[in-house]
A and B are shown apart, each in its own frame.
Chain A
Amino acid sequence: MADSSAITHEAVFPPALVQGKNDFHSITETVCGVLEAPKPPKSWYMIFGTAVALLGVLGAMIVYLIATGVGVWGNNQPVAWGWPIVNFVFWVGIGHAGTLISAVLFLFRQDWRTGINRFSEAMTIFAVICAGMFPAIHVGRIWVIWWVFPLPNQMSMWPNFRSPLLWDVFAVSTYFSVSLLFWYMGLVPDLATVRDRAKTKARRFWYGLFALGWNGSNRQWHRYERAYLLLAALATPLVLSVHSVVSFDFATSQLPGWHTTIFPPYFVAGAIFSGFAMVLTLSIPARKIFGLEELITMRHIDNMCKVIMATGMMVGYAYAMEFFMAWYSGNEYEGFAFINRAFGPYWWAYWIMVSCNVLSPQIFWSKKMRNNLTVVFIMSIFVNIGMWFERFVITVTSLNRDFLPSSWHYFSPTWVDVLTLLGSFGLFFTFFMLFCRYLPQVAISEVKNVLPEAHPHHEDH
């Protein structure tokens, strides 16, 4: 007892953000080592090979789809939106953690973000690419998809600004461009570092090209930090807006199960939830494979677990509230939609969702579990599965039984649906593995900022 009551340094101050005996130089060495190594680790080849193969599958599926028609999927009447839209919302959700970590946590001066922000921003970009692909290929006539953009044209056509799908177009494209810009801006000093260390002409040229002539002058740093702050401020509302707008696709319609005001916050919470889960899924193996354990530390993982637990409970609250409102409204269609969700033909999907999203994160109340990488990794996969099913439950169970029972029809996916989803992971991991190999996975300059050396007057004075 006496031991436990003693106030330790650990208990008051969180562990350092950079573990081990790292200094400025060693951090550069660690991060750049990954991309300067003559050959990536074997596991990189395995994952990259699988991803490229799946990307090939995706390509084949898209060609087949465009050549044949949307009917190759399981979509039907009344389930006009099936897996493609489920996948879209799933990937957009994943794409959320990046901006949250880089912008919101930046504004809140959460220094621990520095270890994982590059990583999660990259994940965001690639997830949004996957997400954006789905609405594009899911339309019946992809060859005229450009009609959703307000481009002046000789046909005097103009999009319908009342449609949430159009809001989606703007929300997602804005999010993508701001995220890309933010990510790229953060990369510039690091790219310059890589350029400066380059031993071949090609590397010098390419990294030099993208480093935009960065020379690390005081003035450049000053402007860089100003711009970074501004972009962070610009990106912060996007964290809330993108998934709110995505949720409008559902919330503004009049379909029971979709037509609920809780959707925007619920979707945002769910998106952060799934985004963090994906960051964990990616970073746990990555830090091991590339030897970044000292930069992406257990403290990062612990924090992320806490975020997952918090957002998981928010999502759980939303699930409960939906039921309450369905009952409280007295609207029989609404009531039926939710009873049907939980106990109807798709009950299994609903309970997969609840167990993965609400029940399984509860394990993170235990610090021991939060520090057990195997447990955390498995939980992060569970959350990913659960969040995919959440979108499936919302989209498909609401549509398959709406107002008139004569139109009720069960939805079953086809092999094309399954392979397209798998293929989208191929697309994601292809990008991601390329990123791991060719770009600094950790923001070198920012991590250096959180070293004690960066603050000569810290603590001891």
Chain B
Amino acid sequence: MTSEPMQEVEKFILGRNPELDHITRDLDLIDSRAINSLAFVEFIFLLEELTQEMIDPEEVDLDDFRTLDALEARFFKKESA
């Protein structure tokens, strides 16, 4: 079952990609440009708001943002544990 913050994440991505009707868990969000460089800042702010933790722009590891699975593992595991 998709956790509530992950639903927000999906909502954000789908809202910016009207041509997508769903996102598979392993879709590469960056290579597919579902999250492009213009959306990335807003996406970081969304994650910060959902996790209540700041993300250091200089410590960003793109692999944490590549798929829904990677995002959940990096940002939301603690909540679902």
A and B interact: no
Residues of A within 8 A of B (CB): none
